[in-house]
Amino acid sequence: MYDYVVKELPKVLSDNFEQLNTSRASIFGHSMGGHGALTIYLKNTDKYKSVSAFSPVVNPINCPWGQKAFSNYLGPAKSDWEEYDATCLIKKCNKISTPILIDQGEDDKFLAKQLLPRNFEEACKAVGAPLTLRMQPGYDHSYFFIATFIDDHIAHHSQFLKSADYQATYLLTLVNDLLSLEMWINSSRLLQNVTVCVCISAVGAACPKHC
């Protein structure tokens, strides 16, 4: 799925929509899709103008979800896991200039043991990577949380996707289900000069190359 998101999908779009400038793209995700968005962005900063996430899994090598998935997909060598961990990847990036936007609900039941946003925050500080981590009181992992702040994420990407020559650009969205997709479609009206919003399942996109 990684190759599909990074290589195959842009080619399909370029081949079928000649007005689309696939060199101007951004990426977003929620939960495990947030993990996928962050890791794909950090491995391909030349391909994406910006990244944002809701409640992402940012340090999977140190959480039960990630340890279970990585041991099954990648085997026992934890050095291999680091290539799919945003907190590990950001430590290797010293040229990130575009702010990373993350929204995290403080009442999220997965926050303490699974999501670990403070680990990512500390890693960003260590390398001087700009991060806007917004801890939102009273919100959990639900779609109401996403619906409340999704316009901010659309606006975040819009400012980096604006094209001087008015070519169409696109925002790649890693979503978990049709409800998330519907919210993105409803909010996409806020995008300026971004005429294509691509939405796919996050299940495979967040997984390692073997998926």
Sheet strand arrangement including 131-136: 131-136, 100-105, 51-54, 20-30, 168-175, 196-201
Q: Is 139 exposed, middle or buried (0-12, 13-18, 19+ CB in 10 A)?
A: buried
Q: What is the DSSP letter of 141?
A: S
Spatial contact of 158 and 190, defined as CB atoms under 8 Å apart: yes
Specify whether 141 is catalytic.
yes
Say which of 26, 31, 52, 55 is annotated catalytic.
Answer: 31
Q: How far apart are CA 51 and CA 42, in angstroms?
A: 9
Q: How far apart are CA 39 and CA 165, in angstroms?
A: 30
Which helix (H) or strand (E) segment holds residue 201: the answer is strand 196-201
Spatial contact of 48 and 25, defined as CB atoms under 8 Å apart: yes
Say which of 26, 103, 108, 188 is annotated catalytic.
Answer: 108
DSSP string, 152-189: HHHHHHHHHH--TT--EEEEEEEESSHHHHHHHHHHGG
Residue 178 tokens, joined: 């049709």
Say which of 30, 141, 156, 157 is annotated catalytic.
Answer: 141
The residues that are catalytic are 31, 108, 141
